[in-house]
């Protein structure tokens, strides 16, 4: 049995579907009640309260671990202890590219701590380090729907955003095949794309132009501070505004693992166009 945490999110949802379609027995976990695809059981548990995972993980062979946000709310060792007690032998962690590219940043220290704990756990581990998600564009949905505009900072800085469906497919492979043990994969899209170009791609999916309005760093920061802690907002702005060469590079890992190119942002926009109508 494979336990998927973060099961109702951008990555977890396609991951649960992919595992179920491959014939795996899956337990989907999130805090709130949720519908699960046919044949999948859903269980409520809170990663911030590892004891709530005990019955969920009992009898599991593998765990997909996704902590939401920056991950500061979890105790890695307590989660690993409960996982091992339940029988888990393989763990796939969704981390972040920045855990590798920003080794000094406060914003990603909880994910680095999680990576370290998993590497020392004695379990078969695989670490996924995705770059920025295509699905971050859902933050634009409301103004695209109401005004056909996108307001964002750093309009001409390009990053190879990754489609969460590709992260999920890589996770399916890593959870089912022991050949990925001990590996850390960097996951990006097939090409760097600016936020101005992403807004344009959403417009093309809609069949109507979407106007891009560039925000100042200060305006973007004030907005982000409404829903994320200061170090996370500053760390994110630094990646969006001044990405390192490593953060702008297209990684070969999705193609190596899946045997095809990563999905483009335009494909993501077409698949998710309903959110922007």
Ligand X SMILES: NC(=O)c1ccc[n+]([C@@H]2O[C@H](COP(=O)([O-])OP(=O)(O)OC[C@H]3O[C@@H](n4cnc5c(N)ncnc54)[C@H](OP(=O)(O)O)[C@@H]3O)[C@@H](O)[C@H]2O)c1
Q: Give whichever of 1 and 240 is closer to ligand X, judged by the CB atom.
A: 240
Q: What spatial distance separates the first Cα and last Cα of the chain, rounded to whole Å?
A: 39
269, 201 in Cβ contact below 8 A?
yes
Instruction: Report the candidate in 29, 35, 98 with the shortest Cα–Cα distance to residue 64.
Output: 29
Who's near 260: CB < 8 A, 6+ residues apart? none
Residue nearest to ligand X (CB): 9
Q: Give whichever of 17 and 96 is closer to ligand X, judged by the CB atom.
A: 96
Q: Give whichever of 67 and 144 is closer to ligand X, judged by the CB atom.
A: 67
Q: Give whichever of 104 and 207 is closer to ligand X, judged by the CB atom.
A: 104
Name the pairing type of β-strands 124-130 and 149-153: unpaired
**Residue 176 beta carbon to ligand X: minimum distance, rounded to whole angstroms:** 19
**Residue 205 beta carbon to ligand X: minimum distance, rounded to whole angstroms:** 20
Q: What is the DSSP letter of 121?
A: S
**Residue 148 beta carbon to ligand X: minimum distance, rounded to whole angstroms:** 24
Q: Give whichever of 136 and 223 is closer to ligand X, judged by the CB atom.
A: 136
Q: Where are the beta strands (DSSP E) in 99-240?
A: 124-130, 149-153, 158-159, 183-187, 193-194, 211-215
**Residue 69 beta carbon to ligand X: minimum distance, rounded to whole angstroms:** 6
Separation of alpha carbons 128 and 134, rounded Å: 16
**Residue 209 beta carbon to ligand X: minimum distance, rounded to whole angstroms:** 26
Interface residues toward ligand X, by CB under 6 A: 5-12, 30-32, 46-48, 66-68, 70-71, 94, 96, 130, 132-133, 136, 164
């Amino acid at each position: 049995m494979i336990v998927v945490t973060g099961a109702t999110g951008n990555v977890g949802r396609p991951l649960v579907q992919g595992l179920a379609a491959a014939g795996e027995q899956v337990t989907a976990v999130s805090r709130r009640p949720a519908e699960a695809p046919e044949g999948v059981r859903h269980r409520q548990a809170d990663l911030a309260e590892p004891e709530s995972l005990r019955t969920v993980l009992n009898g599991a062979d593998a765990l997909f671990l996704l902590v939401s946000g920056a991950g500061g709310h979890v105790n890695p060792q307590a989660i690993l202890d409960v996982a091992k007690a339940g029988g888990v032998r393989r763990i796939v962690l969704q981390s972040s590219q920045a855990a590798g590219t920003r080794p000094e940043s406060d914003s990603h220290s909880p994910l680095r701590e999680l990576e370290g704990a998993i590497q020392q756990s004695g379990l078969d581990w695989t670490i996924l380090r995705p770059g920025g998600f295509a699905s971050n564009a859902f933050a634009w949905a409301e103004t695209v729907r109401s005004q056909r505009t996108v307001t964002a900072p750093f309009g001409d800085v390009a990053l190879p955003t990754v489609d969460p469906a590709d992260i999920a497919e890589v996770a399916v492979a890593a959870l089912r095949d022991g050949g990925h043990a001990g590996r850390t994969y960097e996951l990006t899209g097939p090409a760097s794309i600016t936020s101005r170009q992403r807004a344009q791609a959403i417009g093309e999916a809609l069949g109507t132009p979407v106007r891009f309005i560039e925000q100042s760093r200060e305006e973007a920061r004030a907005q982000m501070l409404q829903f994320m802690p200061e170090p996370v907002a500053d760390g994110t702005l630094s990646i969006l505004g001044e990405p390192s060469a490593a953060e702008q590079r297209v990684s070969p890992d999705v193609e190596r693992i899946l045997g095809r190119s990563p999905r483009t942002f335009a494909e993501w926009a077409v698949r998710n166009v309903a959110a922007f109508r």
